[in-house]
């Protein structure tokens, strides 16, 4: 029923905003490249999905940008990945300043067929159209659409990255008038959450349960529902990953 994945038994979440810290200093981790307060409001309001790209053995370094002209997409230019600003990426970050591209994550604000409009600078709200099929020549890509979230999502969700208070309401049922409790970032129980299902404007999340010996994921214990967007229509969470070694 659930994807089986391994994580270190002592994986912890720091109280700082920018980093999720794994057990060992040289292990891969999720790094945020922009602070919530600096992200353009329109970006979070318009986000309908998340694109993750990883060159891996394909060794891609640039994205082919397209112009939309009526019902056609016309090749325009190349955009160097290292000159973009993803919301976050998962990989190795030692030494600091490494030029390696690993699992860069961008907001998707529009989709037409296999063309996606991604935000490559969330502070300046700069976006561009890319061809997902063409990208597969140079990158391994994953598209996570918000309206299709379910338990098969291979990632975890970070419910605190788009808040200044480091606190989130978790509802008993998918309704704004439902009973709720406050989850705090300082509570490690909410550091690694899995998607269980989606409701109208809400997503159900739970705590992953791992085998104490193999650290394999055995199931997910529900904690409640959270809103996908706040009162201003801004996205309230982001996807992230954990070291599966």
Give the tens place of pLDDT for each residue, 161-199.
Answer: 999 999 999 999 999 999 999 999 999 999 889 999 999
d(CA 34, CA 29): 16
Residue 95 pLDDT: 54
What's this model's pTM, rounded to 2 decimal places?
0.86
Residue 210 pLDDT: 85
Q: Which long-range contacts (CB under 8 A, 24 or more apart) does 19-27 make?
A: 20/158, 20/191, 20/240, 20/242, 22/242, 22/243, 23/243, 25/94, 26/92, 26/94, 27/92, 27/243, 27/245
**For the chain, which residues score pLDDT lower than 50?**
1-24
């Amino acid at each position: 029923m659930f994807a089986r994945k391994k994580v270190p038994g002592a994986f912890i979440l720091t109280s700082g905003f920018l980093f999720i810290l794994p057990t060992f200093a040289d292990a891969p981790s999720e790094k945020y490249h922009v602070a919530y307060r600096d992200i353009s409001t329109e970006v979070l309001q318009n986000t309908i999905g998340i694109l993750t790209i990883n060159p891996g053995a394909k060794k891609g370094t640039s994205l082919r940008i397209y112009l939309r002209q009526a019902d056609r997409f016309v090749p325009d230019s190349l955009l160097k990945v290292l000159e973009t600003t993803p919301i976050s990426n998962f990989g190795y970050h030692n030494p600091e300043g490494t030029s390696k591209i690993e699992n860069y994550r961008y907001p998707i604000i529009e989709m037409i067929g296999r063309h996606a409009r991604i935000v490559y600078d969330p502070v300046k709200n700069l976006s561009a159209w890319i061809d997902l099929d063409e990208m597969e020549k140079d990158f391994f890509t994953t598209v996570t659409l918000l309206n299709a979230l379910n338990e098969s999502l291979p990632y975890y969700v970070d419910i605190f990255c788009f808040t200044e208070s480091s606190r989130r309401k978790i509802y008993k049922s998918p309704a704004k008038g439902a009973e709720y409790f406050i989850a705090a970032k300082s509570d490690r129980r909410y550091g690694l959450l899995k998607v269980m299902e989606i409701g109208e404007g809400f997503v159900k999340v739970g705590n992953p349960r791992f085998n104490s010996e193999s650290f394999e994921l055995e199931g997910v214990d529900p904690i409640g529902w959270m809103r996908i967007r706040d009162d201003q229509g801004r996205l309230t969470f982001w996807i992230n990953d954990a070291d599966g070694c």
